[in-house]
Amino acid sequence: MIKQNILEMKGITKTFPGVRALDHVSFELRKGELHALCGENGAGKSTLMKILGGIYTPDEGEIRINGKTVQIRNPEDSMDNKISIIYQEFNLVPQLSIAENLFLGKELRKGLHLNKKQMVKAAQEVMAKLGLADIDCSRSVSDISVATQQLVEIGKAIFNDVDILVMDEPTAVLTEKETKALFELIRQLLAKGISIIYISHRLEEVTQLSSRVTILRDGKYIETLDNGDKRLKKDDIVRLMVGRDLEDFFPERKDTVQSGYVLEIKGLCKEKQFTDISFGLSGGEILGFAGLVGSGRTEIMKAIFGSAKPDGGEILIDSKPVRISSPSDAIREGLALVPEDRKKEGLVLGMPLGDNICLANMPLISRLGCIVKNKKREIVDRFIDDLQVRPALPGRLAKNFSGGNQQKAVIAKWLAVNPKVVILDEPTRGIDVGAKSEIYSIIEGLAQKGVGIIFISSELLELLGVCDRVIVIHQGRIAGEFRKDEFSEEKIMLAASGM
């Protein structure tokens, strides 16, 4: 017997400036099932869930709950429909206690005062029902671990009596053990009849937990696969996610690794962030960095690039020690950083794309401090052409380009300075599949020219597809190093969880 649909989303379309994030996407959720939503970064999963959560309103489309059409215009509407969404960035108030967070907006009172004792007691009961009796609900959220915060988020949802629970990358910050506990909790929730939409990059989890899997690609609905008998294979999902065979998705890695190190890091450390980081990078090598979100990968690269000050350690370039105390020092030494968040750190969004490309290369396009228009045009046009930035309009403001083209512009900014080492921090986050493949080719092309590449990514698939070597970071330490012939997702995942 097929259970009835608790949720139907039909023909959902959402356009942002420069990009159609969702194009007539449909999605169904049956009562009591775990329906996984899969797709590469930028496929539209999070946008679809934000529409369900009332953060965005769709341009077109219909949402039905228990067969009735509903309007979700804001987060309150979403809650009224008994939907709860646990976003990657949590919605807890860190200064308040767990109990106060659970009761946020409907606090228990005794006269004019908050009845804290009663709230803690009630909160404790809710958590106990979830098998989390050992969590002290009077503690403030800022004092508890990320994993516990996540459990509190789930507790809050249950406390609010939800029918539909959405989990966006719940395991991205969890260790192996915490993940197991979470899965146990998920099975309990399903048994209680709660329906779950589950987003994860970790496809083993998806095949283990889900009863159905819907795949999105570039904002379009692709297919819904049945996994009632848990027989679904990871490869089937991946092929649909990238829309082609993997051999075509990643460029062929040529052996361009040179002998000797172009960049060498010795004993780099910073209190509370990372300890004893030592590694070497050769010219023409693509070195991947894997690890959980928050493991310290980004902080290490910022320290190398001079935008954060390390407590100690040595940086050598071409075997000579160098002092890097600001990004401009790093650039002079031949380093380039494509930062994690291209909108906040990579681009001046309100500036024309061409100006953005020139931002790190001002001396190249100027004489005596004045910009030489011809030189500027020449460089901008060359990189727009080389990297296939579309549309090829250097005068258009950076914010009006799609994510993939924005990312290409950030990369272009660095290519004109002829760097020896390019550090790319999550360069494919939030961009479409085609642009991803192009970025891989750009990286491969740089390596072939002898540039050393550091490639940070949370997507193991692309690390394994692109890199010569992968270093795994766990809690600010190097937890493992794997050469191409010893790559496997399982090994890297275990190292990343500290095992």
Partner 1 sequence: MDAGVKRRTRLSGIIKGLFARRESGLFMLLLIICTGMSIAKPDTFFTSDNIFNIFRQVSIIAIIAVGQTFVMISGGIDLSIGYNLALCGIVLSYFIKLGINPYAAISLGVLTGIIVGWLNGVMITKLKLPSFIVTLGMANIARGVIYVITKGFSISVDHPFVIGVGNGSIASIPILSIIMFIIVLIGAYVLDNTVFGTRVKAIGGNELAAKLSGIKVNRCKIAVYTLTGVLAAIGGLIIVGRLYAGNPNAGANFEMDSIAATIVGGTSLAGGEGTILGALLGALLLGVIKNSLVLLNVNMYWQTVAVGSIIIVVCAIDQFTKRKAE
**What residues line the site for partner 1 (CB under 8 A)?**
17, 305, 307, 326-328, 330-331, 337, 339, 344-351, 355, 358-360, 362-363, 366, 369-371, 392-393, 395, 413
CB of 378 or CB of 486, closer to partner 1 = 378
Q: CB-wise, 67 or 363, nearer to partner 1? A: 363
> Which one, 212 or 302, has the nearer CB to partner 1?
302
Length of the chain: 499
Using CB atoms within 10 A of its CB, is residue 89 exposed (0-12), middle (13-18) or buried (19+)?
Answer: exposed
- Calculate the alpha carbon distances from 356 to 348, 351, 374, 406, 429 in Å: 7, 7, 16, 10, 20
Q: How far apart are CA 115 and CA 460, in angstroms?
A: 48
34 torsion bin: left (phi>0), alpha (psi -120 to 50), beta (else): beta
Cβ proximity to partner 1, 269 vs 349, nearer residue: 349
Angle between helices 146-159 and 176-191 (to 10 degrees): 10
Q: Which residue has tokens 């192996």?
A: 176
Residue 403 Cβ vs partner 1, minimum distance, rounded to whole Å: 16
Nearest distance, CB of residue 337 and partner 1, angstroms: 6
- Give strand pairing partners of 336: 422
**Least distance from partner 1 to the Cβ atom of residue 255, Å:** 32
Q: What is the DSSP letter of 397?
A: B
Structure tokens at 486: 């010893």
Q: Which residues contact 485 (CB under 8 A, 6 or more apart)?
A: none
Least Cβ distance, residue 25 to partner 1 (angstroms): 24
Using an 8 Å Cβ cutoff, are 328 and 361 in contact? no
Distance CA 200, CA 213 (A): 11
Q: Of 327 and 434, which has the nearer Cβ to partner 1?
A: 327
Shortest Å distance, C-beta 230 to partner 1: 46
What minimum distance in Å lies between the beta carbon of 362 and partner 1? Answer: 4
- Closest approach of Cβ 497 to partner 1, in Å? 31
What is the closest distance, in whole angstroms, from the C-beta atom of residue 159 to partner 1 in the complex? 38
Cβ proximity to partner 1: between 101 and 361 the closer is: 361
In our burial notation (b when 16+ CB lie closer than 10 A, e otherwise), range 182-209 reads beebbeebbeeebbbbbbbbbbebbbeb
Instruction: Give the 3-state secondary structure of residue 3.
Output: coil
Instruction: Confirm if 26 and 214 have CB atoms less than 8 A apart.
Output: no
Beta carbon nearer to partner 1, 190 or 351? 351
208 vs 366, beta carbon nearer partner 1 = 366
In this complex, which beta carbon is closest to partner 1, that of residue 170 or of residue 346? 346
Nearest-approach distance from CB 301 to partner 1, in angstroms: 11
Closest approach of partner 1 to the CB of residue 342, in Å: 9
DSSP code string of 167-203:
EESTTTT--HHHHHHHHHHHHHHHHTT-EEEEE-S-H
What angle do the packed helices 433-448 and 403-415 form, to 10 degrees? 10
Angle of helix 403-415 relative to helix 373-386, nearest 10 degrees, comes to 120
CB of 56 or CB of 261, closer to partner 1: 56
In the bound complex, what is the minimum distance in angstroms from residue 347's beta carbon to partner 1? 6
In this complex, which beta carbon is closest to partner 1, that of residue 1 or of residue 370? 370
Q: Which of 262, 304, 268 is nearest to 285 (CA)?
A: 262
CA-CA distance, 382 to 471, in Å (whole number)? Answer: 34
Nearer Cβ to partner 1, position 53 or 334? 334
Separation CA 10–CA 167 (nearest Å): 21
CB of 360 to partner 1, least distance (A): 4
Residue with tokens 């009663």: 118
